[in-house]
Amino acid sequence: AGAKEVNPDVEVDVKYITQPPDFSGFNDPGTAKEIALGQFGAGADVIYHAAGGSGGGLFEAAAETGDVWAIGVDSDQYNTADPSVRDVILTSMLKKVDVAVFGAIEAFVNGELEAGVQEFDLANDGVGYSTTGDFLTQDIIDQLEELKQRIIDGEIEVPSAP
């Protein structure tokens, strides 16, 4: 949904390493690299992975392909990736676990902790994006912040399934 806001002609190609209940795909950088090389070869400009430890394979594929971008997941993968692939990591989607942990501790201390599912999203700063590497220029960050607000406001609906 967000990508279509920026470019209505964008094409999204979803590939999985494995399907549940097989979760080995989260630790298979070789297969991730193979898949990413195929997607880059088919014309992909940017690949976002949500594959844990397999993301290293995406970064290698992007570095080998050249003139393409990779997006990391969970933490700022620019900081944890091998220095040889950092220049292809545009950004990372951040799961801000610190926000959830702090909120739970704060609620406990205040006697307000409740059992049950809690959702962490853009509205409560539970997820975000990294700007390490200086690849996202201020005009891009401004556009991302505008899109973020439109998602929070419900103007842009983000699908829960690919």
Q: What is the rounded distance in angstroms from the CA atom of residue 117 to the CA atom of residue 109? A: 19
Tokens of residue 70, six digits: 């990779």
Compute and round to an integer the Cα radius of gyration of the chain. Answer: 17
The span from the CA of 116 to the CA of 87, in Å, is 41
pLDDT for 136 equals 96
pLDDT tier, 3 (very low <50, low <70, confident <90, very high otherwise): confident
- In this structure, the strands spanning 46-48 and 69-74 are parallel
Q: What's the rounded Cα separation, in Å, for the pair 126 and 46?
A: 24
List pLDDT tens digits, range 103-156: 999 999 999 999 999 999 999 999 999 999 999 999 999 999 999 999 999 999
Distance CA 24, CA 98 (A): 26
Band of residue 159 on the pLDDT scale cut at 50, 70, 90? confident
Q: What is the largest CA-CA distance in the chain?
A: 55
Instruction: Specify whether the CB–CB gap between 72 and 55 falls below 8 A.
Output: yes
Q: What is the pLDDT of residues 12-33, one digit of tens each?
A: 999 999 999 999 999 999 999 9
How far apart CA 27 and CA 58 sit, in angstroms, is: 12
Q: Does 2 have pLDDT greater than 80? A: no
- Cα–Cα distance, 106 to 119 (Å, whole number): 16
Using 50, 70 and 90 to split pLDDT, how confident is the model at 4? confident
Q: How many CB atoms lie within 10 A of CB 57?
A: 23
Structure tokens at 5: 């806001």
Question: Per-residue pLDDT tens for 48-105?
Answer: 999 999 999 999 999 999 999 999 999 999 999 999 999 999 999 999 999 999 999 9
| Pairwise pLDDT comparison (5 vs 86), residue with the higher score | 86
